[in-house]
Amino acid sequence: MLLSATWGTMQPNLKEQFLSWCQGDTPPESLRERLVRYLELFQDIIVISLCAGLFCVMVLRLMDMFSSLLHPLEVRQITSDILFILILVELFRLLLDYLEEQRISVGAAVEITIVSSLREIILSGVLEIPTTQIFGISIFLVVLGAILVIMPWMTRLLESNHVNSHSIDTPKRM
């Protein structure tokens, strides 16, 4: 009974808010803007939790790597650990850049991918990988290298086109 009485008093208020929103009588910050702001905040919380988890993994891997130095050295394993930690550091930097700029750096993502691919090759051993897989990895690395080289040029080209199209679209004042 109390629930229906409360709902009865809330319903006209919600109905009025919805109707005013549909008619355009909304306050300066619309429902859509508030929703986007809250979703961006939630996304930032997710990225911050990813950063914290990544940092913990880096610390654990460093401790594991230093403890493995007490045993006989395995060069391949230590190289793999160092490259893995470098990949984690770059991922951490990528997440921090995302928090600051709200966009992903394609160059950093490509660099991380290149280092990850090379780490897998080192971990497996070049001689133990089938020829077709080495050929595929080589093409993949060439494409990533081309992306890394072309990205600054494409960015300048797109920015100059954006500036030119913006200046053409805006009428000149007399």
What's this model's pTM, rounded to 2 decimal places? 0.63
pLDDT at position 45 is 93
pLDDT at 2: 45
pLDDT category at 4 given cuts 50, 70, 90 is very low
pLDDT of residue 59: 93
Give tens-digit pLDDT for 50-81: 999 999 999 999 998 888 888 887 887 788 88
pLDDT tens for each residue of 10-55: 455 656 666 665 555 555 567 788 888 889 999 999 999 999 999 9
What does the pLDDT read at residue 54? 94
Q: What pLDDT is stored for residue 52 in this prediction?
A: 95
Residue of higher predicted confidence among 3 and 90: 90
Number of CB atoms found within 10 A of residue 119's CB = 18
Residue-wise pLDDT for 91-124, tens only, equals: 999 999 888 888 888 888 898 898 888 888 888 8
* DSSP codes of every residue in 68-125: HTTSPP-HHHHHHHHHHHHHHHHHHHHHHHHHHHSS--HHHHHHHHHHHHHHHHHHH-
- Higher pLDDT: 38 or 166? It is 38
Q: Which residues fall within 8 angstroms of residue 60, CB to CB, at 6 or more apart?
A: none
Euclidean distance between CA atoms 52 and 40, whole angstroms: 18
